[in-house]
């Protein structure tokens, strides 16, 4: 079993699969995520493949702010992913809500709903930065495989309830 586990762990790190979810982004970051897969940046040379099914994925790429409707979808996708997994929040919106943080339908950054491992700044984040973020996330997956970092399910970060809601400015509805 040891040999088989070693093989599985090695292939996990050498060919990580990513699943991408657009969580209310303006498309700017989404098209940069897709641009990473195309000939100029070519993430596939690292064995990174974009898959549609979260059950096949190791890394979750989330772009955009979380709103009240897609909160449940995001949590659902995250829960379906097998351990060890890592989450990369892409763009200023994914980190904090960005320029939409005052909108009435916006909950805030991705970390209000699921624990986030790597934050990639930028509006929109550049493909180079996204590649860098995924590589950082893989280091974390490696640490989890070697038992140096806790599994995400074992120690959940404090989502929504733990943090106080940021007060939103009153917008006159007249």
- Footprint of other proteins (CB under 8 A): 19-32, 34-35, 38-40, 50-54, 64-65, 67, 69-70, 73, 77, 99-100, 102-106, 123-124, 126, 169, 171-172, 174
Q: How many helices (H) and strands (E) does the chain have?
A: 5, 7
d(C-alpha 132, C-alpha 48), whole Å: 13
Are 87 and 110 contacting, i.e. CB atoms less than 8 angstroms apart?
Answer: yes
The least distance separating other proteins from the CB of residue 138, rounded to whole angstroms, comes to: 22
Nearest to 59 by CA among 38, 35, 90, 29: 90
The least distance separating other proteins from the CB of residue 67, rounded to whole angstroms, comes to: 6
DSSP letter assigned to residue 124: T
Nearer to other proteins, 25 or 144 (CB): 25
d(C-alpha 27, C-alpha 2), whole Å: 44
Residue with tokens 């599985």: 8
Nearer to other proteins, 10 or 55 (CB): 55
The least distance separating other proteins from the CB of residue 69, rounded to whole angstroms, comes to: 5
Nearer to other proteins, 10 or 168 (CB): 168
The least distance separating other proteins from the CB of residue 43, rounded to whole angstroms, comes to: 12
The SS3 of residue 48 is: coil
d(C-alpha 115, C-alpha 86), whole Å: 9
Nearer to other proteins, 163 or 168 (CB): 168
The SS3 of residue 51 is: strand
Nearer to other proteins, 122 or 142 (CB): 122
The least distance separating other proteins from the CB of residue 133, rounded to whole angstroms, comes to: 16
At residue 81, φ and ψ (nearest 5 deg) are -75, 135
């Amino acid at each position: 079993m040891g040999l088989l586990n070693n093989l599985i762990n090695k292939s996990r790190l050498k060919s990580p699969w990513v699943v991408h979810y657009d969580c209310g982004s303006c498309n700017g970051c989404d098209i940069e995520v897709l641009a990473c897969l195309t000939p100029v940046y070519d993430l596939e040379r690292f064995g990174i493949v974009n898959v549609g099914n979260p059950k096949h994925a190791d890394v979750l790429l989330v772009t955009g702010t979380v709103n009240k409707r897609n909160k449940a979808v995001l949590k659902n996708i995250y829960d379906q992913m097998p351990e060890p997994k890592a989450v990369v929040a892409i763009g200023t919106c994914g980190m904090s809500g960005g320029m939409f943080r005052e909108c009435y339908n916006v909950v805030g950054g991705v970390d209000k709903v699921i624990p986030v491992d790597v934050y990639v700044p930028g509006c929109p984040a550049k493909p180079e930065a996204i590649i860098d973020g995924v590589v950082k996330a893989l280091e974390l997956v490696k640490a989890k495989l070697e038992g140096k970092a806790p599994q995400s399910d074992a120690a959940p970060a404090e989502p929504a309830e733990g943090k106080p809601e940021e007060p939103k400015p009153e917008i006159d509805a007249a």
